[in-house]
Amino acid sequence: MRSFAQRTFYDIEPQFIDLVQELPPAIAELAAHVIDIYSSVSGHQMNPNAAFILADHISFAIERTKKGLKLGFPLNFDVAHQFPLEYKIALYALDEIYRHRNVRLPEREADGIAVCIVNNVLGDPDAAQNEIAQNSEHILNAAISIIEKRFHIKVDRQSFDYARLAAHIQYLCERIGQTESVPSGYSGMYAEICQQYPASASAVDELAPYIEDALGCALKDEERLYLILHFNRILSPEQR
């Protein structure tokens, strides 16, 4: 595996360059290695920012696991069968994370890694992807408007925290409502997070109708929980 410092990246967006300073080198190297393997096996051209996005996703998953926030993905069966190659690569990534970081992520985290890979494949957009892009933009604009009005701040749209939120909303739009409703099982954890971050939780409650209107289905507790965590990344500790 080549070290991250030995790699040359082209057409990287500025906010991802800043992220390199925040990421553990082992995670950055691992993510770049996973993207290399997938690109080589699949023949797909990848988003130039893919390694950075995947590294951040993995870093966040490790952070969640260490804090005991073992969140699940209700689409485990569908991801594994709809994207078998990506899911296989994701399982390999979990093994590599354990080998290099000595952190055993739950197998359900393979879903998020697989979808992260899928989202960073370059290709011609179809009608469904165009609809997803439009919904994502609408929801993201609503989210930023709510944050700025509630907390009297100006969100830096060049920051990586903004990019994280944008990527999560796109991911949410792609997967929500694709299967029958699954019982959440996260009511206790969601309630605890709401008590811990009441301002962010209230902001997410205000955003929820925009999401439900755009996507045509109710926003479950685990989706709200993820949004609260992403809102917190944008806000200062005093604002949460």
147-191 residue pLDDT tens: 999 999 999 887 888 888 988 898 888 776 454 344 455 667 888
CATH code matching the domain that covers 11-119, chosen among 3.50.50.60, 1.10.1790.10, 1.10.287.3510, 3.10.450.350? 1.10.1790.10
202-213 residue pLDDT tens: 999 999 999 999
Dist. CA 131–CA 176, nearest whole Å? 13
Fold of 127-234: PTS-regulatory domain, PRD (1.10.1790)
pLDDT at site 70: 61
83-138 residue pLDDT tens: 889 999 999 999 999 998 899 999 889 988 998 998 888 875 566 667 777 888 89
Contact present, 84 and 118 (Cβ < 8 Å)? no
